[in-house]
Chain A
Amino acid sequence: EPEVTQTPSHQVTQMGQEVILRCVPISNHLYFYWYRQILGQKVEFLVSFYNNEISEKSEIFDDQFSVERPDGSNFTLKIRSTKLEDSAMYFCASGSVERGGRRNEQFFGPGTRLTVL
């Protein structure tokens, strides 16, 4: 069964450094998302990406964050200058669309645990 994959599984970085989190969505999906989950808390939406552009972003997704789909398969989240409060599990998700535009379920990847020291 196709699944969303993410690399790395764990990233440790120093405050102020740039990190890139990578995701390979399910191949025929058209909607891509990044969510994050701070330890012990709920899952929070960061950004959605459709038709090669950001379709919606949350207040968390400030100028330090960017997303890209550089080659038609990978979907990346870049944090330019990490802060301590960026430490969280970051999940990539992808979803398909039915004929007529109805959106389907979203499947989550295994996550990247980001630790900012």
Chain B
Amino acid sequence: QQPVQSPQAVILREGEDAVINCSSSKALYSVHWYRQKHGEAPVFLMILLKGGEQKGHEKISASFNEKKQQSSLYLTASQLSYSGTYFCGTEGAGGTSYGKLTFGQGTILTVHP
């Protein structure tokens, strides 16, 4: 079952902040965040692992609530280059998924000057 992202779309002015949420109905091993620009491949932003470890982009932060199976991506002081579609990909807990990511439907972020 795919994770649910909210909001579906966000419009910002440069310098404003945004939060994108990702919620799953099943226990998770990890949450991965990607940004995709039109016609390009998804670009890795952040991975959050069960147990609290996270790795990723310097200017982007995220949280992972393991009990609620929810993750949030925090974009602060947005820049024009932040525009794109943000996907969360979740890996289920249980040790048998071998890294299979199930992606949400995406959040379209548009940053205006």
Chain A complexes with chain B: yes
The residues of A with any CB-CB pair to B shorter than 8 Å are 31, 33, 35, 42-45, 48, 50, 55-56, 58, 91, 95, 102-111
Interface size class of B (residues with CB under 8 A): 20 to 34
Residue numbers in B under 8 Å from A58 (CB-CB):
100
CB < 8 Å neighbour of B87 from A33, A42, A102, A107: A42
A2–B87 alpha-carbon span in the complex (Å): 23
A105–B62 alpha-carbon span in the complex (Å): 15
B44 close to A48 (CB less than 8 A): no
Residue of A nearest to B42 (CB): A108
B99 shortest CB reach to chain A, Å: 5
A32 shortest CB reach to chain B, Å: 9
A107 close to B100 (CB less than 8 A): no
Instruction: Answer whether residue B49 sits at the interface, using C-beta atoms and an 8 A cutoff.
Output: yes
B87 close to A56 (CB less than 8 A): no
A33 close to B43 (CB less than 8 A): no
Instruction: Answer whether residue B58 sits at the interface, using C-beta atoms and an 8 A cutoff.
Output: no
- Supposing A56-B98, A105-B32 touch, asked if A44 and B103 sit within 8 A by C-beta, the answer is yes
